């Protein structure tokens, strides 16, 4: 009877570990695809990264009204302007 409890406990641990690794992989993929829009790549971006925001000039976000901030990663992504 003790061996059944051991097997159940081992299965629980294995399932938990597999579930965690799958969630980490999907979060990484989601993050890399989400950061391709102009709300991440423009010269000036909204701190909240609102969809449809981002500009080559200073201004305010049309979605939330926050002031744009200079995107420090803008030149790293290959943009020359």
The count of other CB atoms within 10 Å of the CB of residue 73 is: 11
Which of 7-11, 16-20, 49-53, 75-79 is least confident?
75-79
Considering the entire predicted model, what is its pTM?
A: 0.51
The pLDDT tens digits for 14-70 are 787 777 655 555 555 555 555 788 889 999 999 999 998 999 999 999 999 999 999
Q: What are the domain boundaries of the chain?
A: 1-34, 37-81
Per-residue model confidence (pLDDT) at position 55: 93
β partners of residue 70: 44
Rg of the chain's alpha carbons, rounded to an integer? 22
């Amino acid at each position: 009877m003790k061996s059944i409890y051991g097997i159940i406990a081992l299965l629980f641990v294995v399932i938990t570990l597999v579930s965690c690794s799958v969630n980490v992989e999907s979060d990484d993929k989601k993050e890399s695809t989400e950061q391709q829009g102009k709300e991440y790549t423009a010269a000036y971006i909204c701190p909240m990264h609102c969809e449809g925001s981002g500009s080559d000039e200073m201004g305010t976000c049309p979605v939330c009204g926050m002031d744009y901030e200079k995107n420090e990663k803008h030149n790293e992504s290959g943009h020359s302007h």
